[in-house]
Chain A
Amino acid sequence: MSQTKARGKGKGQSRGRTPSGRPAAAGASAVQVLPAPGGPQSATLAVPDISTVGSRLAGLLSGSPGRLRIAAAVSALACLLLAVVGAAAMQYRANALEEARSHIAQVVRVQKAQADLVRADAAVTNGFLAGGLEPAALTADYDGAVAEAARLLVDASAAQPDDAAKLAQANQLLADYTRQIAQARDNNRLGVPLGSGYLVLGSQTVLRDQLLPLLGGVVTDNGTKIDDAYSASSAATWWFTLGVLVSGGVLVGTQVWLARRSHRVLNVGLVAASAAALLAIGSGAVVLSSTGRTAQDVRVTSYAATSALTTARAAAYSAKGLESLTLVKQGGGAAYETQWKAQAKVIGEALDTARLSGADVGAAPAALEAWTATHQTIRSFDDGGDWPSAVKVATWVEGEPALPATAKGQASNVQFAALVAALDPVLDAQAAKASTDLATPWGALQFVGWGTLVLGILAAIAAVGGISQRLGEYR
């Protein structure tokens, strides 16, 4: 109370709006059980005469009519159980799939941020090779990719607050990366080797050794949550099955019992109740199995393909950056060439995974092969001591003076653009498909969930009605 008052002080406006009695009422409502508005149930409760109730209850439940009353109550409860368990199972499945979908979206988002970061790095390292006169297109590409990555990190943080701590750290590293790169470019303009020192700090120490693995951790975290959501989604089937067995068993049992007692095979009410229950069970089973199948399908097809293609794209940009870094290091770049080989392997494997997941990877493998061949040309120039020709092949773009004849028309930037152009449409299509596929089951689960609830209640009413009819015969 005193706390409330203290809070109220100095907030004249909000206090003015609030009626003076309200804080007290709000505080009291948390603990006070209000007398419910008059109704048959609460009326019964309001008269707690145990002996009277007990004797009336004993009278109601004794003899054949009594047993029939018990049967009616049990059947009604069984139907209501089916209604509640069925609706809850659908809702649970829907929520679990929505959870999975949100984490899948997060994985795609964070992987896209990773790809944008290495895209920025590929642009800046390639531009670095040109010396002070960085091509404006590459600078624009770098700026755009960094801006996009920064936006995605903020989006990702808002989408999954659990990832916020790691993403905040990632943002800090991104700031450090752009700082190192800015100093690398400044020193490169001045023509001093120090520029390459800053470039290594940015591209290797900050980006590849810290920032990308940190984001990889966010992807792993969300992967675990996707697994959890899928397990939760399967649990819905078990709850539903349990509900069906219990309520179905009770309904069938009641009918058999009734048939034996009354020498009549069918009771219209109970048959109607059973039909409603069957309809609820059937539609529930259908929708649960179909949504379960859809979810599993998405996981091994469009989602798996999206993830693989994003990985391939990120690995490609990373490899492009490493190709340039190897040249920046002027013969000291063996470590980057080793990393290039590892990334090229990742691209190839990811393309295989995407294909096995049902994606049509189209021209991507051929484009990868062409770019790899160009990369080999660059390496053989550089390893043979012809660094200027290697740089030419690595940086040439349309409109520049002719390439050395020994390059056989190969230009890394051209072949690399072809690889990205082959990957991008496939990736976009698969990502869109994954998102749509996972959104579809939600509507069906909602519809059937509510339907089960209504059918269960109707079945309960029908069961009570049917047994009441039998009960009437005793009066």
Chain B
Amino acid sequence: MTTTRTTTRTARRRAAVLTALAAAGALALAACGAPSIPADTPAFTASPAAAPTALAKPTCTDATTSYDPLPATSGNAAFPGGSLQTAIRDRGRLVVGVSGDSFLLGSRDPRRPTVFNGFDIDLARAVAKALSTPGSDVKVQFRVITAAQRIPLVNAGVDGGGVDLVARNMTMNCDRWDQVGFSAVYFVAKQRFLVRTDSPSKSLPDLVAAQARVCAPAGSTSIQRMVDPQYAGIVPVQVDQHTTCLALLQQGRVDAITGDSTVLAGLNAQDPDYTKVLDDEIGEEPYGLAVDKDHPEFAQYVNAVLKQYIASGQWQASYDKYFAKALGAEQPPTPQYGREIPAS
């Protein structure tokens, strides 16, 4: 009897030691694996991701300057032969590369999988409408593409298995001007922060002081901007996409999400009662529509459409519909023209 009891006790003690060892092991693992999602529940660690690198300085000052707009924008206006807009009009179909899951910018309607909605989508539709002539419509075909596919597909063109235009919250910057053509700026997004409504942090300095866990997609500009001495203390949490960040925020596994204001508005729309976008703005992301690098004339045409789109109040209507609730009032951007057309 004594023996049995001693054995049970020893076994129990051994089990306790094992459990303790396992727990210590898990902690050690969590510590050295640099998980991108904090292990705040005992079993929950995330796939390791490399620490974000700081953002590189811009190498030019005219990243937001586009080509002069063409004078004629719609109706029967004739286009110069060989221009991309002529080809599109002849084809009767404008192929636009968009995002499939950026709520409010470009996303598939979950109940009607062929229908797309969002701010980028509205603008792409306006381009197709402008290309239409009274006798023949130019239909718009949306194609979901990834961020990495934007540049190769727009330069491939529709005949090469690509697209005519990219309307997928694409930031204009110096490097990209070397690879594609851009329209004028159609939206200036700011990097902002989304928190739960019960968050004690009411501002960016609060987040820094609280050493908040801030979530953003791995490798994104937003996470790179967090690597800066003035934000020291912030714990960057990298995941695959922003919707994953929202899932983590809802579960209390991160304290804030950072990203473009447009994206955060889309997240806020999915959880409007319990999340809010903070007022602090850091960094600007000027969005442009991308076209084939070898077809600046199409960018000129798109610029004319954009000018009309803003002047007619369509831009404002679209903004108010999608973003005003989460981001507050906003004026359309002032386009900057005058970029030299490259010799082809």
Contacts and interface: CB of A to CB of B under 8 A. Distances in A.
A192 B101 contact: no
Contacts of A172: 42-43
Contact of A330 (B19, B26, B95, B100): B100
A165 B19 contact: yes
Most buried by A among B43, B100, B144, B271: B43
A201 B248 contact: yes
Contacts of A166: 22
A209 B243 contact: no
A436 interface: no
Contacts of B149: 331
Given A176-B43, A191-B110, A332 B241 contact: yes
Contacts of B245: 197
Interface string B36-54: 0100011111110000000
A197 B22 contact: no
A287 interface: no
A165 B23 CA distance: 9
A27 B271 CA distance: 69
A469 interface: no
Given A169-B43, A330-B108, A385 B141 contact: yes
Q: Determine the main DSSP class of A at the interface with B.
A: helix
Contacts of B47: 204-205, 209
Given A209-B46, A334-B146, A387-B144, A169 B26 contact: yes
A194 B246 contact: yes
A388 interface: yes
B139 to A, nearest CB: 14
B108 A387 contact: yes
Interface string A187-215: 11001111011101100111001100000
A173 B45 CA distance: 10
Contact of A26 (B1, B43, B45): B1
A19 to B, nearest CB: 13
Interface residues of B, number: 47
Interface centre among B107, B113, B247 (most CB of A within 10 A): B247
A395 to B, nearest CB: 12
Max chain A Cβ within 10 angstroms of own Cβ: one of B95, B146, B148: B146
A410 to B, nearest CB: 19
A200 B36 CA distance: 14
Contact of B244 (A164, A188, A191, A201): A201
Q: How large is the interface on A (under 10, 10 to 19, 20 to 34, 35 or more residues)?
A: 35 or more
A465 B110 CA distance: 95
B2 interface: yes
A26 B2 contact: yes
Given A165-B18, A201-B244, A191 B111 contact: yes
B199 interface: no
Contacts of B148: 334
Interface of B: 1-2, 15, 18-19, 21-22, 26, 37, 41-47, 95, 100-101, 103, 107-108, 110-111, 113-114, 141, 143-146, 148-149, 240-248, 250, 266-267, 270-271
Contacts of B110: 131-132, 188, 191-193
A368 interface: no
Nearest to A193: B101
Contact of A332 (B1, B146, B271): B146
Contacts of B246: 194, 197
Contacts of B95: 385
B144 A388 contact: no
Interface in A349-402: 385, 387-388, 391
A335 interface: yes
A173 B108 CA distance: 32
A180 interface: yes
Contacts of A339: none
A187 B108 CA distance: 15
A332 B145 CA distance: 7
Interface string A316-351: 000000000000011110110000000000000000
Nearest to B108: A330
A192 B268 CA distance: 11
Residue from B18, B26, B244 having most chain A Cβ neighbours under 10 A: B244
Nearest to A201: B247
A169 B26 CA distance: 10
